[in-house]
Amino acid sequence: MAIRDIREREQGPIEIDLTGPEGNAFVLMGYAKKWSQQLGKETLMLLYGVTWEEIQKEMMAGDYEQLLGVIEKYFGEYVVMYR
C-alpha cells in the first residue's frame, strides 16, 4: 500500500450512471447548471458562444435523449455517462 499526497490524485472525467438516481432529468439539469457556473459566463461564451439560459432552453426543447445530447455537446469533455 502506498500513501500519496491528495494533490497527486488523478483527475478524470465525472462519471454518471444514467440507470440510477443521477440519471433523473432534473438531477442532470442541476449538474449542468453547476458545471456552467464552474466554467463561468465568460468561458461559456468564449468556448461555445452561449449562456447558461440558452443551454437550459436547449435541454428543455426536447425529450430525455435531447437532454443527454445537449450535456454531451457542452460538457462531454468533462463527463462520461453510462446506461
Tell me, what's the pLDDT at 3? 65
Domain boundaries along the sequence of the chain: 14-82
Global pTM value? 0.84
CA dist 50 and 2 (Å) reads 44
CA dist 48 and 76 (Å) reads 13
The mean pLDDT value for 27-42 works out to 96
The mean pLDDT value for 3-27 works out to 82
C-alpha pair distances (Å), 69 with each of 7, 25, 50, 56, 72: 33, 12, 16, 12, 5
Tell me, what's the pLDDT at 11? 75
Pinpoint the alpha helices (H) of 6-51.
25-39, 41-48
Report the run of H or E that residue 10 belongs to, with start and end: none
What pLDDT digit, counting tens, does each position of 37-54 carry?
A: 999 999 999 999 999 999
CA dist 19 and 82 (Å) reads 8
DSSP E strand stretches across the chain: 14-17, 79-82
What pLDDT digit, counting tens, does each position of 51-78 carry?
A: 999 999 999 999 999 999 999 999 999 9
Confidence of residue 12 (pLDDT cuts 50, 70, 90): confident
